[in-house]
Structure 1
Amino acid sequence: MTTLPRPLIQSLEMLAATAEALELRNDWIVFGGAAMALSGLPDWPVPDIDVLASEETANALIDAFGGRILTPPAADRFRSRLLARIDGTPVPIEIMVGLEVKTDDGWAPVNFRTRVDRPVQDRHIPTARTAEQAAMARRFGRPKDLQRAEALDKLTD
């Protein structure tokens, strides 16, 4: 397994342990930089852990961690029905419900169809398969996402 920064490992362990203790359904997934690091790209900065979840699961995690609901920024490239931040972990966690990305055809929901449980110490963190992460990064379309997609293309699950 790839060596990850200790603060990231600690935060992911806290997230997985809390989800397990709350007996949350499998309706949450880690994406973005943290998922990419778990998939084998440890050299990319991970300023926060992005989690896409159902509203019920998001609220349970927000309550458990004492997170705060944020006013989502003005919708330019992304928007979500709910955005929350948990700062009580070494690496902050951002939870999103109903995330959408702006495309040429309008707003499109962000959904992951694949799921891989990535090991973190004695826990598991759900992410999408590497190929789907690369496809989503291309869909996000920012320069950093396109660079990530290119790097992800070189990996396999």
Structure 2
Amino acid sequence: MEKLKWSKQIFGSKLEIMQGDEQIGKIDWENMLSSKAQAIIKGRYFTLNREFFLSKLEIFDGNSMALLATVMVNVFNPRSDVVINGKRFELEVKNFWQSRWSWKYNGAEIITFNSHEFVSKDKGTIELATPMNEEVEILILLGLFVRNQFILFILLLLAVLFFVIV
């Protein structure tokens, strides 16, 4: 089982994906609250986009701008599906705090994400139970993009609660 690491500053706009000491990927948002991001993994470029209220996330080929996958996310439903190259993958969020989530194929976990920190830096691991290929690269980026959107939603919710209480 291959293990990758990822890290992102909570209030930052850059996420890194590491394999050992080598950076193999990154996601760059225009700013912390941006709905668009540019990504690269293993030398391939991608564009990520989300609708305003987090429901629809899309990933495009960075060169041809061809739509590669769309996932509909509901913060109150821990499961979502995406079809890539005719194969159906299922995203499952394992807990409310979004610290463990995975992609499944035919019921088996193929990519598992874990988050280890939340205070000033969000970081964690990605465990691959399948070889790296185009679909896995897309799923890794989508999984981390989904995570970022959930964190933004939680921060927004906390800010609203703070202003309601104050």
Structure with the largest fraction of strand = 2
For the criterion TM > 0.5, the same-fold answer is: no
TM score, norm. by length of structure 2 = 0.25
Structure with the largest fraction of helix = 1
TM score, norm. by length of structure 1 = 0.26
